[in-house]
Structure 1
Amino acid sequence: MRHVFSICLVILTISCSKKIKKELSSERKPNIILIMSDDQGWGDLSYSGNTNLSTPNIDTLGKNGVSFEHFYVQPVCSPTRAELLTGRYAARIGVYSTSAGGERFNLGETTIAEIFKKAGYNTAAYGKWHNGMQPPYHPNARGFDDYYGFASGHWGNYFSPMLEHNGAIVKGNGFLVDDLTDHGLAFIEKNKNEPFFLYLPFNTPHSPMQVPDGFWGPFENKDLQMKYQGSEEESVNFTKAALAMVENIDWNVGRITDTLKKLGLEEHTIVIYLSDNGPNGWRWNGGMRGKKGSTDEGGVRTPFFVQWKNHIPKGKSVNDIAGAIDILPTLASLASIDYQTEYPIDGMDLKPLLLDASPSWGPRTIINHWQGKTSIRTQKYRLDDKNRLYDMTNDIGQKNNVAATMPRLLDSLVVIKNNWETQLNGSIVQKGERPITLGHPNFTYTQIPARDGIPHGTIARSNQWPNCSFFTHWTSVDDKITWDVEVLADGKFEVELYYTCPKESIGTTLELNFGDSALSSLINKAHNPPLMGMEHDRDPRMESYVKDFIPIKLGTIDLKKGRGALTLKALEIKGKQAPEIRLLQFRRIHDNQ
């Protein structure tokens, strides 16, 4: 009898345990992993029919989840990222450029990270931020507990480069996408028992075209079967490098999904994959017109996969148009998170399209805008920036303008475009309207890079593309570098300068000043490394090569709240030129230090 009682007790215990586990499982909010590639076209996947490459792990997200066949982002990096983070069109929240501060979206916007953090999630972003470097535009100020990567746009070296971790400057470990994935995997492991929101904005296949040997080798002498169909010339070697980089992304996506399986988190985790704009070169893209930078179909259509095992259908394909503005409301809805935003969301909750067999879904339009050009996409038609109208169902290449045969539709879409642009005019931020912020009282570090500075005199920028540039050719004490900054709160700051300096220039004295405050320092250590990056490039680059810049402490400076010119000048120059300048790092010294 006692034996029977024991068996019953064990069965009851197991039953209760399973019931509790089931209840806990049903109550747990889903984890989120949001993966975005950089400059990958819709056609840069074997899922899209491209036989030039193989992307089994990314393809599996679409096969095991839901694929959106007509998903739209903006033509370049920063706007898409801003829309993904806020659910609002980037053009109306202050994004007007991809560098020098124009990539920032307005303060007061509610981000997806803030929403999930408020709901109890641990949040992290690892990769290319490109929506503001200095707090309060920095990812740590936008809802992310942990950030590792680089906050500006293109980067000059993908092998163990200079990066940052929560504002502190650090050195990367190995190939950058692999390194970012390593941080993501560590974050998943650390938070496996708690809900987490992980944003992985990878930096490839954006140039420079660098990828490890193991991924480049199969492409180096490969004969590509699928080529770009237009009249523009395709750089086949560039295409090979881009596709090799995508295969590296695919390998890292596989590492992520394998980790979810190993930890038993597949059913608890929503995984999303997309790109931030069209391809960064003329290559096969399904016959679409346009590439990165264009508001035509090829410049703004991206893959979009959503996987959530046993919660959303497997292998479902959605033809309804959708866009990056929809990601925030959709994820909040799937996670059953109630939220409020300061401003109305432009995006829609896609949950009915994900879950319902016959969703009730009305017509809509999606707006693509960049550098004064606006295009309107409906389910069937696209009005381009010159008010030409195309039947996208039958003319994916936008070759046949049907505006003359559909005057009523044309007029209605032109009205939508004109009304949107009229509304937009009142919210456009002008260049120079917002200074670079320095010394936010809630954050220790502020980077002030060469990217955001203005050279005067003989000083030159290392490249026309500023994001990863440095200042060089500083030959006169009459020269200077200025930054238009706003100090957000009074404080004392320790300042480090990241520089290079040949031996003959030792003894150069630099002065940094802002308002009535100044500090001067003698450059007493030579460091004259060569340019680097070309040794890893698979195709010639447009961007600046980089150097191994090292820090030197300039001293401490008291800064008063207010706007003005932060100025770096030379009191004395030894040798032929003053040091080359990469960035200034300000560290707020708190009262207890």
Structure 2
Amino acid sequence: MKTFFSLFLLACILTGNLTASENKNPPHKKSQTRPATQATTHPNIVIFLADDQGWGDLSHNGNTNLHTPNVDSLAKEGVKFNRFYVGAVCAPTRAAFLTGRYHARTGTIGVSTGQERFNSDEYTIAQAFKAAGYATGAFGKWHNGTQYPNHPNAKGFDEYYGFTSGHWGHYFSPMLDHNGTFVKGNGYITDDLTDKAMAFIEQQVQNHKPFFAYLPYCTPHSPMQVPDQYWDRFKDKQLKLHNREPDREQPDHLRAALAMCENVDWNVGRVLKKLNSLRITDDTIVIYFSDNGPNGVRWNGDMKGKKGSLDEGGVRSPFVIRWPGHLPAGQEVNQIAGAIDLLPTLTDLAGIKRPEPKPIDGVSLKPLMLNSKADWPERMIFSSLRNRVSVRTDQYRLSRKGELYDMHADPGQRNNIAKQKPEITAKLQQAVTDWRQSVWPNGYPEDTRPFLIGYGGARSTQLPARDAVSHGDIKRSSRHPNCSYFYHWTSISDSITWNAEVDTAGIYEVILYYTCPQADIGSTVELSFNGSKLQGQITQPHDPPLVGAAQDRAVRSESFVKDFKPMTLGKITLTKGTGQLTLRALEIPGSQVMDFRLLILNRIE
């Protein structure tokens, strides 16, 4: 019988019966026939993580300004958590989700210049599922480090397609990372990421292998770019719901964010229909959440705060989980939960082991999902951003300033009751003190970790301008380092440095990504590290235009981008050790050296 069903599935795939257009598949129907290729003991996992989408940016949470039917369907057919907490900004949430630990424990204390990395010995949910025999793939914004051991391929993902920094400067056919190699994207980035994820899913079904597919989208994070068909729905739309401080709303940014959320929802629907067409809906756990509060002032259920805030509006995220036939449909959970809980929850639901080397902070939410009135112990969830800390219980929030709010009676945090409830205030203040001591036993840390070259024998190491420090009059293209480049390099006394550590000694070929107009070619540059030196010359002009402005729907603060060209600088012998990797100019015959974007060091011996 098993052989018959395997041959039947193969025939369907070959004839195209299981790969019809995603938009023409019927909606999910319960109790579908499961193909024999999919083991039901280990469900597939699909995780959507939106970027900068607030709790209020979904129609199932009451926002009538937009329509998100596909994410809404997950809430209808699965379990919805009404009080789910993430980080105040992007990278901390990803670190907490991936490790099951508070991001402050992992070394992730910021969003750029290396602070987004978790420590090399952190164990991820992808590693746990890979060890259990799953095919693992991530498609989108990683934001937890670029160099090994922090690259997605080094942290448990067999397949990676996306970008590793905190934001990207252009969303239409940009340069992307595919398993450590740069490729050109195909069309609008969210659509492209979804295409790659669906191809991965279909391949695993053909391979008879359970899969863990992680889709960390990069929208509605700025720059505010979205295809015309979505923008046209909102550019002149009269919005009925507004923020509690409507005068602070920025109409173009707000409308673009809503348009981007509808595009995300459309892509979620494409994946759900793909699961249905492959007949694996009942064998697949699907999760949807976001990484922080909204990235602008817009309707968010009257909550206080937005992205970057430790108030409710900055750290409360939508969260829905669906597993037909295993988790109750339409159930709502009001107990607090958070991103730290996803690793233990998913490993529990999937029945796989968790051999992580460090204790985790999260707990399995399975009892709450199966019975929302389960005997559930009182707990606290801590939110931090740099050295600021807030704590949430089921009823109260102690703000980073020591204000106490009854979130049942005052969900908008308008009435500080710290003086009226001194015992509760003191209890939560002590909890914050204890938590600080637990995660920062030696005080809040300064990040001095070097960028690693050749870690664990890695063949290729990326060193972007984001991670470098400029000296002299060299300027960065944006105050946000993530997707920036260096320009105004006009003096031989100027330099670019990385705090680096060579983990594997050897000969490395150096690739440099640059732009330079015809009038300025000819500069000689030197790369040095602990006595080893390499010299090369900029001989080929490459002066492409900046792009992005034509596609922006609102004024940006991120850097515009351009098509940087790779050139081989030469080979350098690097010895094991720590030091300053320095790029400087020896000769500048024109008005500048170049605009600089990236170094890649490929170990050849």
TM-score bracket relative to the smaller structure: over 0.9
Answer yes or no: is the 8 Å Cα contact 1:96–1:429 preserved in 2.
no
Pair 1:443 & 2:422 matched: no
What are the Cα deviations for residues 40-73 of structure 1, in whole angstroms up to 9, with x where unaligned? 0000000111010000001111111000000000
Whole-Å Cα distance in 1 between the matches of residues 473 and 364 of structure 2?
54
Partner of 1:490: 505
Whole-Å Cα distance in 2 between the matches of residues 162 and 331 of structure 1?
32
Whole-Å Cα distance in 1 between the matches of residues 244 and 594 of structure 2?
48
Within the candidate set 541, 560, 563, 1:548 is matched to 563
Within the candidate set 183, 186, 190, 2:199 is matched to 186
Pair 1:398 & 2:450 matched: no
Partner of 2:30: none
Q: Point out where structure 1 has 5 or more consecutive residues left out of the alignment.
A: 1-9
Pair 1:201 & 2:219 matched: no
Partner of 1:500: 515
Pair 1:233 & 2:248 matched: yes
Within the candidate set 473, 478, 481, 2:493 is matched to 478
Q: What aligned pairs does 1:326-405 form with structure 2 within 5 A after superposition?
A: 326-356=341-371, 358-405=373-420
Q: What aligned pairs does 1:429-578 form with structure 2 within 5 A after superposition?
A: 430-578=445-593
Q: What aligned pairs does 1:23-34 form with structure 2 within 5 A after superposition?
A: 27-34=40-47
Partner of 1:53: 66
What are the Cα deviations for residues 112-160 of structure 1, in whole angstroms up to 9, with x where unaligned? 0010000000111111111111001111111111111111111111111
Answer yes or no: is the 8 Å Cα contact 1:508–1:570 preserved in 2.
yes
Provide the alpha-carbon RMSD of the alignment: 1.8
Whole-Å Cα distance in 2 between the matches of residues 385 and 182 of structure 1?
42
With over 3 angstroms needed to count, the CA separation of the structure-2 counterparts of 1:448 and 1:288, relative to structure 1, is same
Deviation at 1:325, TM superposition (A): 0.3
With over 3 angstroms needed to count, the CA separation of the structure-2 counterparts of 1:338 and 1:477, relative to structure 1, is same
Residues 258-267 or 152-161, more deviating = 152-161
Partner of 1:281: 296
Partner of 2:166: 153
With over 3 angstroms needed to count, the CA separation of the structure-2 counterparts of 1:289 and 1:550, relative to structure 1, is same
Residues 424-433 or 194-203, more deviating = 424-433
Deviation at 1:26, TM superposition (A): 6.2
Identity across matched positions, percent: 53
Whole-Å Cα distance in 2 between the matches of residues 519 and 508 of structure 1?
14
Whole-Å Cα distance in 2 between the matches of residues 488 and 317 of structure 1?
49
Answer yes or no: is the 8 Å Cα contact 2:492–2:587 preserved in 1.
yes
Whole-Å Cα distance in 2 between the matches of residues 376 and 79 of structure 1?
16
What are the Cα deviations for residues 475-502 of structure 1, in whole angstroms up to 9, with x where unaligned? 1112111111001111111111110000
Partner of 2:329: 314
Deviation at 1:514, TM superposition (A): 1.1
Whole-Å Cα distance in 2 between the matches of residues 239 and 367 of structure 1?
29
Answer yes or no: is the 8 Å Cα contact 1:92–1:428 preserved in 2.
no
Whole-Å Cα distance in 1 between the matches of residues 38 and 533 of structure 2?
59
What are the Cα deviations for residues 76-115 of structure 1, in whole angstroms up to 9, with x where unaligned? 0011000000000001221111101111111212110010
The SS at the match of 1:70 is strand
What are the Cα deviations for residues 321-380 of structure 1, in whole angstroms up to 9, with x where unaligned? 100000000000000112222211100100011123642211111111112211111111
Answer yes or no: is the 8 Å Cα contact 2:35–2:280 preserved in 1.
no
Whole-Å Cα distance in 2 between the matches of residues 496 and 26 of structure 1?
45
Answer yes or no: is the 8 Å Cα contact 1:102–1:431 preserved in 2.
no
With over 3 angstroms needed to count, the CA separation of the structure-2 counterparts of 1:180 and 1:254, relative to structure 1, is same
Residues 329-338 or 349-358, more deviating = 349-358
Partner of 1:176: 189
Partner of 2:123: 110
With over 3 angstroms needed to count, the CA separation of the structure-2 counterparts of 1:285 and 1:236, relative to structure 1, is same
For 1:418, the aligned partner's letter is T
With over 3 angstroms needed to count, the CA separation of the structure-2 counterparts of 1:241 and 1:40, relative to structure 1, is same
Deviation at 1:534, TM superposition (A): 0.6
Whole-Å Cα distance in 2 between the matches of residues 318 and 454 of structure 1?
47
The SS at the match of 1:510 is strand
TM-score normalised per structure 1: 0.94
Pair 1:126 & 2:135 matched: no
Partner of 2:156: 143
Partner of 1:416: 431
For 2:117, the aligned partner's letter is R
For 1:388, the aligned partner's letter is E
Whole-Å Cα distance in 2 between the matches of residues 487 and 426 of structure 1?
29
Partner of 1:4: none
Answer yes or no: is the 8 Å Cα contact 2:34–2:282 preserved in 1.
no
Whole-Å Cα distance in 2 between the matches of residues 121 and 23 of structure 1?
17
The SS at the match of 1:303 is strand
What are the Cα deviations for residues 282-321 of structure 1, in whole angstroms up to 9, with x where unaligned? 1000000000001000000010000111111111111111
Whole-Å Cα distance in 2 between the matches of residues 52 and 514 of structure 1?
55
With over 3 angstroms needed to count, the CA separation of the structure-2 counterparts of 1:456 and 1:23, relative to structure 1, is closer
What are the Cα deviations for residues 166-204 of structure 1, in whole angstroms up to 9, with x where unaligned? 111111111111111111001000001211111110000
Partner of 1:259: 274
Partner of 1:3: none
Residues 243-252 or 386-395, more deviating = 386-395
The SS at the match of 2:535 is strand
Deviation at 1:27, TM superposition (A): 4.7
The SS at the match of 1:214 is helix
Deviation at 1:442, TM superposition (A): 3.3
Whole-Å Cα distance in 1 between the matches of residues 199 and 35 of structure 2?
27
What are the Cα deviations for residues 436-478 of structure 1, in whole angstroms up to 9, with x where unaligned? 1112243222110011111111211111110111010011112
Within the candidate set 72, 76, 79, 2:89 is matched to 76
For 1:157, the aligned partner's letter is H
With over 3 angstroms needed to count, the CA separation of the structure-2 counterparts of 1:21 and 1:275, relative to structure 1, is closer
Whole-Å Cα distance in 2 between the matches of residues 23 and 574 of structure 1?
68
Answer yes or no: is the 8 Å Cα contact 1:93–1:427 preserved in 2.
no
Pair 1:223 & 2:238 matched: yes
Deviation at 1:430, TM superposition (A): 3.6
TM-score normalised per structure 2: 0.92
What are the Cα deviations for residues 239-294 of structure 1, in whole angstroms up to 9, with x where unaligned? 10000000000010000000000000101110000000000011000000000001
Answer yes or no: is the 8 Å Cα contact 1:28–1:195 preserved in 2.
no
For 1:331, the aligned partner's letter is L
Pair 1:100 & 2:128 matched: no
Residues 555-564 or 113-122, more deviating = 555-564
Whole-Å Cα distance in 2 between the matches of residues 559 and 284 of structure 1?
54
Whole-Å Cα distance in 2 between the matches of residues 267 and 418 of structure 1?
45
The SS at the match of 1:448 is strand
Deviation at 1:574, TM superposition (A): 2.1
Task: Give the count of matched residue pairs.
Answer: 575
Answer yes or no: is the 8 Å Cα contact 2:288–2:318 preserved in 1.
yes
Partner of 1:214: 229
Partner of 1:35: 48
What are the Cα deviations for residues 382-404 of structure 1, in whole angstroms up to 9, with x where unaligned? 11111111111121110011122
Whole-Å Cα distance in 2 between the matches of residues 574 and 29 of structure 1?
63
Residues 231-240 or 419-428, more deviating = 419-428
For 1:137, the aligned partner's letter is N
Q: What aligned pairs does 1:82-93 form with structure 2 within 5 A after superposition?
A: 82-93=95-106
Whole-Å Cα distance in 1 between the matches of residues 38 and 179 of structure 2?
32
Of the two, which has the highest radius of gyration? 1
